[in-house]
Structure 1
Amino acid sequence: MQRVFSGIQPSGVPTLGNYLGAMRNWVALQADHECLYCVVDLHAITVWQDPATLRQQTREMAAAIIACGVDPERHIVFHQSAVSAHARLAWIFNCVARLGWLNRMTQFKDKAGKDREAASAGLYVYPNLMAADVLAYHATRVPVGDDQRQHLELANDIAQKFNHDYETTFFPVIEPLIIGEAARVMSLRDGTKKMSKSDPSDQSRINLTDETDVIASKIRRARTDAEPLPSEIAGLEGRAEARNLVGIYSALSGISQAEVLAEYGGQGFAGFKDALAALTVDKLAPIAAEMRRLLADPGHIDRVLFAGAARASAIADPIVAEAQALVGFLPRPQV
């Protein structure tokens, strides 16, 4: 089976957008791939984190991954900092990657903002760590969204240059893994902005730990316009909030947006929101309940993560040791 690697930052309780855009796909990949799913706490500290909050959010993200349906017995769920191979290979890649390549990374410009001189060096070179995350396992498939394609291209550039510089074919080509049409979930308060954990308004998002009545209330209070739902997709043009709610219904139900509009087109939003609220509760309530159960025992979550890290290290350590040998580092003495 192809080996898949994917990581997610511990930046708070995941939202419906995280679930539909990534985590649900992780669950589907388990059937016919060898999967490693990582809570990337090394990436998190490229901007300052409160230590206690980082520990809590690492556990929350792990709980969410498992609650969504990833099986940590069949596959590997772990936290990045517990596997030293990531940092060891990242340093080698820091020395392989070119400054010109990193200067073209648009996400650094977005995250650093206008005061780039105040950004951490880690934020600047973190695409090299992302490359190491994947290549430390010789993973050949990575589920990606549009915002990660540039980083995947960089990872392949780094792998190709390493292979060229050291006259080897050691690192494989990584291919993007596209699973159907990506579900892009927008804010419930502004359909032009992505649903985000960092939005000041909790009403803008549905958290995976929300109680059922909170989920239903957020859906019913979601921003819409005065016109009824259209009967065809073309009628969603210029109606960001309507498009968002129809897209959420489509993603959760597994039917096309055209089919959603065939059923609800011509109706006002009240009835549609009731149906969407019921559907969302049906899909997310079991996840929320399982997350609460897991988070009630943080020791269990830690044991799952460290067990996963041991299994991840067993794969990555020999690969990174060979990369170090190719570079010219001394091998560890045999005991």
Structure 2
Amino acid sequence: MQRVFSGIQPTGIPHLGNYLGALRNWAAMQADHDCVFCLVDMHSITMPWNPEDLRRQTLGSAACLLATGIEPTRLYNQSAVSAHARLGWIFNCVSRLGWLNRMTQFKDKAGKNRENHSAGLYVYPNLMAADILAFHATRVPVGDDQKQHIELANDIAQKFNHDMGTEFFPQIEAFIPPAAARVMSLRDGTKKMSKSDPSEQSRIVLTDTPDEIALKIRRAKTDSDALPSDVEGLEDRAEARNLVAIYAAMSDETMSDVLARFGGQGFGPFKNALADLLVEKLGPVATETARLMQNEDHIISVLRAGADRAREISEPIVQEAERLVGFIR
């Protein structure tokens, strides 16, 4: 059974894009993979943060993940397991500056003010590699925008193995689940749905009420034309394509199936149907999240138990990596 590692930053309540692109698939993968799922709170402090917000968001994110079907023993927060930081430092000394200079996400996040950003933001791809390799994970569910990080992790693993004269770290496979969906902003169909978008109307979060979901879908940007009868008709209609794709993903249909039912109609009836579908599918997640958040001590105990399991797996691996580099323990 292959070991899977994946993580999500607890920088806010997960949104519909997180659910369709990752969380729903994480839950499904538990049946036939040895899964380790992590709230990567150490990555969250690579950008400016508020300590109380981080604590609150970590607990809220944990509750959401549990509500989507993640098994409690497979979930923990990154900072509770020292193997991440220890292996991350080793990888800081294995990775090359030229490799990090090619990482596009740092350029995107830092923009023109790169000199004012933290060193952590620059080297976080090394920590991401450590997150995976501390568990000898061989499969990582990712989106297209994360493939570069998996390539870097494999470069680091290969260089470590070469430098130490061993085949200690395995190759990692970037795994894109067949049901993964790329969800775009409800206000701009050319941009990914994001927690950091200043407009709350751009995203549906997993704790939204039925009324909030209905309002956001009703206000979602569209055009004046009716829905087409085939997928080709959506080619230059980013917002329409996004809403149809969301409906298809939530209903486990193809976009062609959706258009066969709604093609030729205006957006009014379709938006009503989409809102009803989202309320039906996400309502139980919001209800369970709210129930879990009533007992923060329980969530903390779940994370601690998950961290215990994560240590059992990662500690022997990282101790051996430390021995290989010459550390005395």
Q: TM-score range by the shorter chain?
A: over 0.9
2:25 touches 2:180 (CA, 8 Å); kept in 1? no
One-letter amino acid of the counterpart of residue 200, structure 1: P
CA deviation string 1:133-166 (max 9, x = no partner): 0000001000010111000000000000000000
* Residue 131 of structure 1: aligned partner: 129
* Residue 8 of structure 2: aligned partner: 8
Q: CA deviation at 1:181?
A: 5.1
Q: Confirm or deny that 1:93 pairs with 2:118.
A: no
CA distance in 2, matches of 1:102, 1:204: 31
CA distance in 1, matches of 2:151, 2:233: 36
* Residue 27 of structure 1: aligned partner: 27
Q: Confirm or deny that 1:282 pairs with 2:280.
A: yes
Which secondary structure does the structure 2 equivalent of 1:206 belong to?
A: coil
Which secondary structure does the structure 1 equivalent of 2:140 belong to?
A: strand
Larger mean CA deviation between 102-111 and 182-191 belongs to 182-191
CA distance in 2, matches of 1:282, 1:94: 46
Q: CA deviation at 1:270?
A: 0.8
Identity score, percent? 68
Q: CA deviation at 1:182?
A: 3.1
Q: CA deviation at 1:188?
A: 1.1
One-letter amino acid of the counterpart of residue 274, structure 1: N
One-letter amino acid of the counterpart of residue 88, structure 1: R
* Residue 69 of structure 1: aligned partner: 69
CA distance in 2, matches of 1:41, 1:235: 42
One-letter amino acid of the counterpart of residue 314, structure 1: E
* Residue 241 of structure 1: aligned partner: 239
Distance 1:181 1:293, change over 3 A: closer
CA deviation string 1:95-124 (max 9, x = no partner): 000010000000010111101111110000
1:135-150 alignment runs, 5 A limit: 135-150=133-148
* Residue 264 of structure 1: aligned partner: 262
The TM-score normalised by the length of structure 2 is: 0.99
* Residue 57 of structure 1: aligned partner: 57
One-letter amino acid of the counterpart of residue 294, structure 2: A
CA distance in 1, matches of 2:199, 2:149: 30
RMSD (Å), alpha carbons: 0.8
CA distance in 2, matches of 1:48, 1:224: 34
* Residue 180 of structure 1: aligned partner: 178
Aligned length: 329
* Residue 271 of structure 2: aligned partner: 273
Which secondary structure does the structure 1 equivalent of 2:6 belong to?
A: strand
CA deviation string 1:157-199 (max 9, x = no partner): 0000000000000000011112115311111111112111111
Which secondary structure does the structure 2 equivalent of 1:290 belong to?
A: helix
Gaps of 5+ in 2: none
Runs of 4+ in 1 over 2 A off after TM superposition: none
CA deviation string 1:208-227 (max 9, x = no partner): 10111111121122111111
2:133 touches 2:169 (CA, 8 Å); kept in 1? yes
* Residue 252 of structure 1: aligned partner: 250
CA distance in 2, matches of 1:54, 1:86: 19
One-letter amino acid of the counterpart of residue 9, structure 1: Q
The TM-score normalised by the length of structure 1 is: 0.97
* Residue 195 of structure 1: aligned partner: 193
CA distance in 2, matches of 1:48, 1:242: 35
